[in-house]
Each structure stands twice: as structure tokens, then as C-alpha cells.
Amino acid sequence: MKISTGAHMMQGATRLATIVAVLARHGIAGMFEKRFGQAAGYETDDPWLASTRITPRHLRLALEELGPSFIKLGQLMSTRADIFPPAWIEELIRLQDQVPPIPFPLIQRIIEHELNRPLNDIFRSIEPKAIAAASVAQVHAAVLMTGEAVAVKVIRPGIRKKIQQDIRVMAALARQFESLSESGRLVGAVNVVREFERTVFKELDMFIEAGNMSRFAQNFRKIDEIHVPEVFWDYTSRSVLVMEYVSGVKMDQVDAIRDMGIDPEDIALIGLRSFSRQLMQFGFFHADPHPGNTIVMPDGRVGLVDFGIIGYLDNAAMRQVAELFLGFAEHDYDQIVGALHRAEIIDGDLAKNSEFLADLKDACETFYGRSLKTISARDVYDQIMKLVLAWHIRLPRNILLILKTFIQTEALGKILGSSASLLEQARPFARRLVMKGYEAHKISKTIGKDFQDLYTHAREIPRWTNTILKKLSEGKQEIEIRHSGFQNLDDRLEKGINRLTIGLIVAASTIAGSLVLNSSQKIFEFTVDYLGHHTLSATGILGMTGYVIATILGLWLFISIFRSGKM
């Protein structure tokens, strides 16, 4: 164990030395020194550039030279426009993931080991020369023994171990960057590395990518203009993916597309409609639509390949995105703010902040009166990012992925010479999605989920109660009960009871007086000489007294209730 630990430390130290050497060659090593910018006499209003002499281009070149782990880290950073300045995002999006292929004999050994059978038992033929080679995998064309033309994607050997080693070095550098630099703390360098670690290994698992492809194929099964390759599951493992070979040309090869008799602008519209459908109909979208991942087929369809980077939206998030889009398109600021609040992007205080609302209106009014055809996703993106950076809003990763994919998708359209706007193409999908939220089956589905959540919480109540009581018995928990609106409750209750009591006395006195006066038995009769002789009895006097008392109390009770205004 000590030898292994020592070996890891030695490898880590060697890799760290390599990284520092590359950073120094690109003039970046000083970013980890205190007051580097000030010592160099470098002055700028940009807080990022004020703390370091590094330029966006230097960073991109350094990341490309450092290899797969750092290229993937840079690609993640390119989606975090809420914390990185626009110039840096623009450069990081250009990161190239092309490297020389590894020798075919090594590829053959990986395939045979993963699939546990000789290569000749799987393929009728396989091309030794890779048709694509990236930092984590490469692709070879082949033909299965059953005759299907396929593409074989193979993960490079040792890449997982290398990335894990690089992540340890990244974490150490991120901690140092945060401890020495205000910019590092502002960006949250350690959290960026943690997010990278959570996502990068998903791209190295071919089972996950194959599952993404199958789900896409199911979503687009009734849409003829999009084609998703079939997965051959019998020949797929964690490090090998065998899928249908999609013949055609890359989407940026405009002349080749025309040579096939296809109008490039039609292809651009297919791409814009496809992304709108993914985002607002399926909630499951291809988040890396660059030209190498988008193939124009000879029959005019568009083939989507490489499903390593995928974005997800649940039904609620899909509706919120649609509401944001429609609110922006129709200048409905209440709808925009409501959607942002429901998505928990802003809190209730910010939603009511007059200065924030003014900035939001300023951002949207930039496009007022303009046709959606004249508004690019890039324009909208720039305005959103100004607002986000000014108010220190942290956007969810999927929202950032959507914004990045918006730009990439529309950029493909411009490469094809199209003037179509992604906003214009997405608008009908957004409107249908918002309206669909009111359909009965959606409501019933939501109610069913709410009942499921209620059942889950109900099952937890005994455990929570036991925990609270246990802490109470140990003196570790205090319960404070506050009430409001009960200040005069005692007085009101007492008055009500008193009135009820008096009412009962009135009723009893009236009944008693009636019974006594109607009684045939007379007690203690005597004669009164007043305006003539009258014979009275004690029972008669008691009956009359009951009537008098009942009358007086009844009148008092009536007046009291009348004066209270609660008749």
C-alpha cells in the first residue's frame, strides 16, 4: 500500500511539473502567484484580467496541449457564461478535440477484450485507419458478419486513469487559485473542478451514450427529416460502441451539400426545427451540435451522431423555458419574472426589485419592434449574460447548456448561408408547450406525482417524529410556538359564554314564570286593598318576577348584540 501511495504521489508530482511547464510556456504560470498582475504593472477594468496576464487564446492553447482532461474541462468552462467573461467563453468554445489516432493493433486488443471474442468473429471487415480521432475515443468503419455497415467507437486505453490523476492535480491547483486570488474565489474554481468530475466520466461510458442514442431514436421515430443511428447492443460494452454507419458529409461542407442536389438552407431549417423539438417537446437535447456531429445524408436527411454531451429538462423546466421564450418574444415581463422565480433562478426579493426589473426591461427592449428574423441567438445571449453578471445570478447548468447550444445551432445555420432565426423557428413549439400544460392529462399526471410525493413524505413522518422526540428527551431540541391573531380570543370567548348563559337564564325564567302562573296550586294567599280588593299569592308574585327578569335580561342581551354589530 505504501509503494502504491508513493507511486501515486510520484506520478502526481510528475504530472504537476508537466502542467506547470506548459502553463509557463503560455505565460499562465503566474496566475497562481499573489499580486501577479500588479507586480507586472498590468492594469485593466476586467477583474479577471486584472489578477493575471493570461489571455483567452493563451488559455485555449494551453488546455489543448495539456490533453483530454483539460480539453474537457475547457469545454465545461465554455458553458459557464454566468461566471466567465464573454471573451473567454468565445475562445473556449473553439477548443479542438482532435488528436493523432492510436495504432490499430491496440484498438483490436481493446475490442477483443471488451467483447470477449476474436475480431474475425464480429466483423467481416474493419478499416485499420480511424475515420475520427478525439482525445478520449476514436472511430473505425466496419462491416458486421451479418452485413450491416457500422461505426465502431473505442475509448482510448488508460484514459480513465489519466483523467482521474489530472482531476487530483486540478483540485490542488483550484484550491491554490482560490486561496491566492479573489478571481478564483469569485469563479468558484474548486466547484468547477467538482462539476467536471461529476460529468466527465459519463462521456467515457459507452453504455450511457448508447442509451442516449436509443432514446433519441425513439423520440424521432416519426420525424423523417432526422436520422439517429441504430445501436448494436450485442457488440456494445463500457469501452466499445458499435452503431449504424451514417454516410454523408459534415454540415459545414456547403459545396458538397450542393453537389448532392440539396439546398443548404433547407438543411439549416431542419437543424433549427430539430433543436426546438428536442428542447420544447422531448426535454432531451443534443448539447454539442458542431459540424462533426451533424451529417447531411444523400437523401436530404440530417443524421445526428456522438451523444456524449446531453441536456435534460423535466416537464416543469420545459414549460419554464417556453414561458421565458414567449415572455421575451412578446415583451411580457410578468411572464419572464414569474418563470425565473418558478425556476428558482431568482428569489422573491429580486423578483420585486425595481432596479432589476428596469434592467430586465432594458435588455428586452433592445429588440422591441424588430422581427424575430433580425434577432440572433447571439444577441439574446449577450443581453442575458449582461443581466446575469450584473446581478450575480447563478444559472442552472442545463440552462447554460441550452444557451450554448442555441448559439452553436444558429452558427451552423449561418455556415449554411441561412438567414432563418432560431427564435422564430422555436416560437410555435414554445406556444404549444405552454398551452399543453393546461391539458387534463398533464394536470392528472401532476396530481399523481403530488400524491406520490405526499405518500413518500407520510412514510417519513414517524421517523421524523421519533428523531424530534428523542432530541427533546435529551435536551438537544427546543420547540418554539408562535401564534398571531389570538390576542383577544379569551375576552371574546368569555363574552360569548356570558351571553349564552344570560340567554339560558332568560329562557329558564320565562318557562318557570309560565309554569308558576298557570299552576292551580296557590301558596300563601293574601288580599291587597289597592284600587279595589285583589287576592294575590306567593306563587303569582314569583311567576311575575320571572317574567320581569326574563324581559329585562332579554332586552339587555338584544341591545348588547345590536351594539356589537354582529346581529
Catalytic residue annotation = 288
The secondary element (H helix, E strand) that includes residue 286 is strand 284-286
**Lateral strand order in the sheet of 302-304:** 226-227, 302-304, 294-296, 249-250
Taking the C-alpha atoms of residue 457 and residue 158, their distance in angstroms, rounded to an integer, is 45
Give the whole-angstrom CA distance, residue 339 versus residue 321: 8
Hey, how many other C-beta atoms are within 10 angstroms of the C-beta on 249?
Answer: 18
Helix (H) or strand (E) holding 274: helix 264-277
Report the distance separating Cα 410 and Cα 1, nearest Å. Answer: 53
User: Within 13 Å and on the Cβ side, how many CA atoms surround 281?
Assistant: 16
Check if the beta carbon of residue 170 is closer than 8 Å to that of residue 179.
no
DSSP state letter for 520: S
Exposure pattern of 30-60 as b/e (b: 16+ CB <10 Å)?
Answer: bbbeeebbeeeeeeeeeebbebbbbbbebbb
State the DSSP string of 1-38: -HHHHHHHHHHHHHHHHHHHHHHHHTT-GGGGSTTHHH
C-alpha cell, 304:
445526428
Calpha distance 50→378 (Å, rounded): 26
Q: How far apart are CA 245 and CA 228, in angstroms?
A: 10
- Cα 289 to Cα 117, 151, 293, distances in angstroms: 35, 19, 6
Contact 165, 11 (CB under 8 A): yes
Q: How far apart are CA 278 and CA 289, in angstroms?
A: 12
Among 252, 241, 234, smallest CA distance to 213 is for 241
Residue recorded with cell 456531429: 293
SS (H, E, C) 112-146: HHHHCCCHHHCEEEECCCCCEECCCEEEEEEEECC
> What CA–CA distance (Å, rounded) separates 27 from 29?
6
DSSP assignment of 361-375 equals HHHHHTTTT--GGG-
Measure Cα distances from 563 to 503, 506, 554, 556, 567 in Å: 17, 19, 14, 11, 9
The C-alpha cell at 243 is: 452503431
Report the amino acid identity of residue 233: W
86: left (phi over 0), alpha (psi -120 to 50) or beta: alpha
